[in-house]
Chains A and B, each alone.
Chain A
Amino acid sequence: MATRRLTGALALVLLAGLIAADLAQSPPDPFAAPPLLAWGSGQAAGGAHCAAAPD
Chain B
Amino acid sequence: MSLAADPAPRLRTLPRAGLVLGALVLCLAVAMLAGARFGLLLLIGLGLGITLEGLRFGFAGPWRAMILRRDPAGLLAQLLAIGLVAVAAFPLLASAGAELSGAHAPVGPGMILGAFAFGAAMQVVLGCGSGTLVNAGSGNPVGLVALPFFAIGSFFGALHAGWWAGLGSLPLVVFSGQAGLGLTLAALAAVAVGLLVLARPDARRLPGRLILAAALIAGLALANLVVAGQPWGVVYGLGLWVAKGAAALGTDMSALPFWSAPTHAERVQASVLTDVTSLTNIGLILGAFGVAAWRGDLARPLPRLPLRAWAATILAGLVLGYASRMAFGCNVGAFFSGISTGSLHGWVWFAAAFAGSVLGVRLRPRLGLEA
The interface residues of chain A, by DSSP majority, are classed as loop
Q: Is the CB of B139 within 8 A of A11?
A: yes
What residue of chain B has the Cβ atom nearest to residue A34's Cβ? B37
User: How far apart sit A7 and B134, CA to CA, in the bound complex (Å)?
Assistant: 12
Q: Is the CB of B244 within 8 A of A25?
A: yes
Beyond A50-B324, A50-B333, is A22–B273 a contact (Cβ under 8 Å)? Answer: yes
The interface residues of chain B, by DSSP majority, are classed as helix
* Contact residues, A7-39 vs B (CB, 8 A): 7-8, 10-12, 14-15, 18-19, 21-23, 25-30, 32-39
Q: Using Cβ atoms and an 8 Å threshold, which residues of chain A touch B330?
A: 50
Q: Choose, from B76-84, B101-109, B192-200, the stretch at the interface.
A: B101-109
Q: Is the CB of B236 within 8 A of A52?
A: yes
Q: Is the CB of B98 within 8 A of A44?
A: yes
How many A residues face the partner with a CB closer than 8 A? 48
Q: Using Cβ atoms and an 8 Å threshold, which residues of chain A touch B148?
A: 14
Tell whether B358 is near chain A: CB-to-CB under 8 Å. no
What residue of chain B has the Cβ atom nearest to residue A11's Cβ? B136
Q: Using Cβ atoms and an 8 Å threshold, which residues of chain B touch A41?
A: 99, 229
Q: Using Cβ atoms and an 8 Å threshold, which residues of chain A touch B103?
A: 49-51
Q: How far is the CB of A39 from chain B (nearest CB, A)?
A: 4
Q: Using Cβ atoms and an 8 Å threshold, which residues of chain A touch B277?
A: 48-50
Q: Is the CB of A50 within 8 A of B144?
A: no
Beyond A3-B298, A8-B292, A35-B37, is A19–B273 a contact (Cβ under 8 Å)? Answer: yes
Q: Is the CB of B33 within 8 A of A28?
A: yes
User: How far apart sit A3 and B235, CA to CA, in the bound complex (Å)?
Assistant: 28
Q: How far is the CB of A37 from chain B (nearest CB, A)?
A: 6
How many B residues face the partner with a CB closer than 8 A? 85
Q: Using Cβ atoms and an 8 Å threshold, which residues of chain A touch B269?
A: 26
Q: Is the CB of A28 within 8 A of B270?
A: yes
Q: Is the CB of A46 within 8 A of B276?
A: yes
Beyond A22-B244, A33-B35, is A38–B234 a contact (Cβ under 8 Å)? Answer: no
Beyond A19-B282, A28-B33, is A51–B100 a contact (Cβ under 8 Å)? Answer: no
Given B233, B270, B272, which contacts A50 in the complex, CB threshold below 8 Å?
B233
Give a binary string over B222-233; 1 marks a CB under 8 Å from any A CB, 0 the rest.
Answer: 000111111101
What residue of chain B has the Cβ atom nearest to residue A24's Cβ? B248
Q: Using Cβ atoms and an 8 Å threshold, which residues of chain A touch B261?
A: 55
Q: Using Cβ atoms and an 8 Å threshold, which residues of chain A touch B275?
A: 48
Q: Is the CB of A46 within 8 A of B263?
A: yes
Q: Which of B92, B158, B270 has the most CB of A within 10 A?
A: B270
What residue of chain A has the Cβ atom nearest to residue B35's Cβ? A33
User: How far apart sit A40 and B329, CA to CA, in the bound complex (Å)?
Assistant: 27
Q: Using Cβ atoms and an 8 Å threshold, which residues of chain B touch A1?
A: 301-302
Q: Using Cβ atoms and an 8 Å threshold, which residues of chain A touch B273?
A: 19, 22-23, 28
Q: How far is the CB of A5 from chain B (nearest CB, A)?
A: 5
Q: Is the CB of A25 within 8 A of B158?
A: no
Q: Using Cβ atoms and an 8 Å threshold, which residues of chain A touch B233?
A: 49-51
Q: Is the CB of A30 within 8 A of B101?
A: no
Q: Is the CB of A54 within 8 A of B258?
A: yes
User: How far apart sit A45 and B94, CA to CA, in the bound complex (Å)?
Assistant: 14
Tell whether B285 is near chain A: CB-to-CB under 8 Å. yes
What residue of chain A has the Cβ atom nearest to residue B160's Cβ? A54
Q: Using Cβ atoms and an 8 Å threshold, which residues of chain B touch A52?
A: 236, 263-264, 328
Q: Using Cβ atoms and an 8 Å threshold, which residues of chain A touch B289?
A: 8, 11-12
Tell whether B138 is near chain A: CB-to-CB under 8 Å. yes
Q: Using Cβ atoms and an 8 Å threshold, which residues of chain B touch A53?
A: 105, 165
User: How far apart sit A46 and B230, CA to CA, in the bound complex (Å)?
Assistant: 8
Q: Is the CB of B298 within 8 A of A8?
A: yes
A-B contact pairs, 6 of them (CB 8 A): A3-B300, A12-B289, A45-B98, A45-B228, A45-B230, A50-B103
**A-B interface, 8 closest residue pairs, ranked by CB to CB distance from nearest:** A33-B35, A4-B139, A38-B229, A50-B333, A8-B139, A54-B161, A45-B229, A50-B329
